[in-house]
Amino acid sequence: MSIAVVGAGWAGLAAAHALLRAGRQVHVYEAAAQPGGRARPIEHPTLGVPLDNGQHVLLGAYHATLDLMRTLGIDPAHACHVQPLRLASADRALRLNFWPLPAPAHRLGVLLGSHGLDGWRGRRHLGRVMRALNPERIAAHETVQDWLCALDCPPTLLSSLWAPLCLAACNTPIAQADARIFARVLRDSLGARAPDSHLYIPRTRLHALWPAQVCAQLGARLRRQRVQCIEQERHARSDGAPGAWRVDGERYDQVILAVPAYEAQRLLASLPGANGYLNRWPAWQYAAIGTVTLRLRAPWHSGQAMSLLWDDPARNAWGQWCFDRSVSAAPGPEQHLAHVVISGAERYANCDAQAVIEGTVAQLRAQARRPLPAIDAQALVTEKRATFLLTPGLARPQTRTPWAGLLLAGDWTDTGYPAVLEGAVRSGQGAAALALAAPA
């Protein structure tokens, strides 16, 4: 049985890996020069250091991804800087430590080892949140803000802790984000075993975590080609199986479409019956993520791999999270880098890039406790359609489509997670499992 995978992001490559392991004939089509999709390596002319298109963080709860790495012989603990979940602002006004107690007692760690939680009301609220981590009990239309306020969240905690955490997890403002899915992420990380809440920050390029190995296995079966057309042959085959598929004219038994939702819409639109099916898809809205990268003359050694920044766009302070690569990167030039991540980056769409960088650098200098070394180069990279906006009740498409032999994968399918790497991997593996289960 031959299978085409369209798209070599994490979803498509996870699908390809599962199919290769099962000994299937698989071809992967990728439109871009580099595989990896929204988690791809880039070269920036001013920085001169290999980079990703944006800083990514994985969680210990990303079981599908971490297991995939292990299957390929990569130890996540070596490939990533791993640390217990510690959320601290760069100015140290807020500190949340999750003490390494065995579950479920480790939930108490947040109450024991924390500072800046708005007194007992804040601690009581966090205790309530920990007890309320049951997505099934949250109304489908509820936003994260509504859900937290119903749990008596002090206003300062809403703005200083939950708003940046929600933006980081969902890339959607707290007043708009789906409470069910946010609660699921919290449940699977903070609410599960202590290691599930650990942060995994890649030491080098995301591509080296596992995609590079799958690309090497694929060899020439990974083609650079932007697929223009997917068609199904009209007649069922003589054995009763549905008609074969053609991808830009090439024949396959099955196709896994692992492209972004807007591209899947384009490719599906010409199939018979597509209108009725696509009309049931959500009206996707997208949110941008920006990353300001600084190449420093010396490694920063701030002591914190990741710290929270207080943003204030009205004052040109855009950053929400800062990553000091001298703490998390493998030895080499990357240790001279610092990244500032800006979720909801569409807010600076009308600003000059240089002004955004300067505002962000000033913000970092004002909030970081350890002075920033001299900056040799700086750059802003913005991914305009970084993720879909995770509003409540989105009817995200399933892996199966109305057309036999045509499956969907991608972080935007119904993964139960926000648009994240783990959702992409799970969706790719789920599509591969369905493809493998189809009669040969």
Ligand X SMILES: Cc1cc2nc3c(=O)[nH]c(=O)nc-3n(C[C@H](O)[C@H](O)[C@H](O)COP(=O)(O)OP(=O)(O)OC[C@H]3O[C@@H](n4cnc5c(N)ncnc54)[C@H](O)[C@@H]3O)c2cc1C
Q: Where does this chain bind ligand X (CB under 6 A)?
A: 6-12, 29-32, 37-39, 53-54, 56-57, 226-227, 258-260, 263, 289, 291, 383, 386-387, 410-411, 419-422, 424
For residue 255, give Cα distances in angstroms to 163, 246, 351. 39, 9, 42
Integer Cα distance of 300 and 362 in angstroms: 16
Nearer to ligand X, 117 or 206 (CB): 206
- Least CB distance to ligand X at residue 39 (A): 4
Residue 168 Cβ vs ligand X, minimum distance, rounded to whole Å: 7
Q: Are 57 and 201 in contact (CB under 8 A)?
A: yes
Residue 407 CA: distances (Å) to CA of 133, 245, 253, 258:
32, 12, 12, 9
* Residue among 146 and 383 whose Cβ is closer to ligand X: 383
313 phi, psi to nearest 5 deg: -55, -30
SS3 28: strand
CB 24 to ligand X: min, Å: 19
Nearer to ligand X, 6 or 244 (CB): 6
Pair 237, 243: CB distance under 8 Å: yes
- Percentages of the chain per state (helix, strand, coil), in multiples of 5: 35, 20, 40
- The encoded tokens of residue 391 equal 């509003």
Query: Residue 268 belongs to what H/E stretch?
Result: helix 261-268
Which is nearer to ligand X, 37 or 344 (by Cβ)?
37
Nearest to 211 by CA among 434, 436, 428, 54: 428
Residue 290 Cβ, how far from ligand X at the closest point, in Å? 8
**CB closer to ligand X, 99 vs 281:** 281
Minimum distance from residue 111 beta carbon to ligand X (Å): 26
Return d(Cα 117, Cα 156) in angstroms, integer: 8
Task: CB nearer to ligand X: give 180 or 339.
Answer: 339
Q: Find the shortest distance in angstroms from Cβ 281 to ligand X.
A: 16
Distance CA 252, CA 3 (A): 6
Task: Compute the least distance from the CB of residue 228 to ligand X, in Å.
Answer: 7
Q: In this complex, which beta carbon is closest to ligand X, that of residue 9 or of residue 109? A: 9
Whole-number Å distance between alpha carbons of 253 and 381:
39
Mode of pairing for the β-strands spanning 286-296 and 337-343: antiparallel
Identify which of residues 126 and 189 has a Cβ nearer to ligand X in the complex: 189
How far apart CA 22 and CA 326 sit, in angstroms, is 40
Least distance to ligand X, CB of residue 102, Å: 26
Three-class SS of 206-237: HHHCCHHHHHHHHHHHEEECCCCCEEECCCCC
Distance in Å, CB of 260 to ligand X, minimum? 5
The two beta strands, 199-202 and 245-247, are unpaired
Between 8 and 161, CB nearer to ligand X: 8
